[in-house]
Chain A
Amino acid sequence: GESVGLHLPTLSVQEGDNSIINCAYSNSASDYFIWYKQESGKGPQFIIDIRSNMDKRQGQRVTVLLNKTVKHLSLQIAATQPGDSAVYFCAEKTGGFKTIFGAGTRLFVKA
């Protein structure tokens, strides 16, 4: 069946360092991937997306890398700030209407 999972449930980084959050997916037919950030008491917030015909996409301080060979997705956050502390979800779509979310990685930023 479909599954989107994360390698690590928690990640702790020093303020100013770069963060890398990893994600594995199992459905090779997935054609669109999204990263969401969720802060306590709030709904998930769209960060960045990537289509399956791309390997890399950059946003402001964030980069998403897609390796379709090993079905791996990563989110890189440059110069991590305290405001980046949150739970990060990778998600995938396979044609249809629904988005499948992974379980999430909690990012702690140490001052």
Chain B
Amino acid sequence: DTGVSQDPRHKITKRGQNVTFRCDPISEHNRLYWYRQTLGQGPEFLTYFQNEAQLEKSRLLSDRFSAERPKGSFSTLEIQRTEQGDSAMYLCASSFGGEGAYGYTFGSGTRLTVV
């Protein structure tokens, strides 16, 4: 296992287009998180999965955003009708639930540029 993988690393899209990102967590991790990070800022929480269940969503996750984790393994984050304000780094992280296991392992992120 080489850690958390995200694909693609970079995505440039025209405003109004739909984009989809993929995250492959560490295989034994049951928890998966999506964060968004803009330049000079810390990551902002978007959503959280425990196995295949989406248990929490941020208010940042508008109705244009949808995330899935169909089999409790990989996850996808889709943004519909992209806007320039969606330009950011989208980070995926995973962890193994349980007491004292709150540190995440992050992927290297997908950098989205909306032009």
A103 at the interface (CB under 8 A from B): yes
**Nearest CB of chain A from residue B42's CB, rounded to whole Å:** 3
**CA separation between A103 and B83, bound complex, in Å?**
24
Q: Say yes or no: A44 contacts B48, CB within 8 Å.
A: no
A44 to chain B minimum Cβ distance, whole angstroms, is 5
Tell me if A43 and B55 are in contact (CB < 8 A). no
Which of A34, A43, A89, A99 sits near B108, CB closer than 8 Å?
A43
- Closest residue of A by beta carbon distance from B50: A97
Q: Are A43 and B41 neighbours in the complex by a CB distance under 8 Å?
A: no
B-side residues, CB < 8 A to A, are 4, 31, 33, 35, 40-45, 48, 50, 55-56, 58, 91, 93, 102-109
Q: Can you spell out 24 A-B residue pairs with CB atoms less than 8 angstroms apart?
A: A4-B42, A32-B102, A34-B102, A41-B108, A43-B4, A43-B91, A43-B109, A44-B104, A44-B106, A46-B103, A91-B42, A97-B31, A97-B48, A97-B56, A98-B33, A98-B48, A98-B56, A99-B104, A100-B45, A101-B35, A103-B41, A103-B42, A104-B40, A104-B41
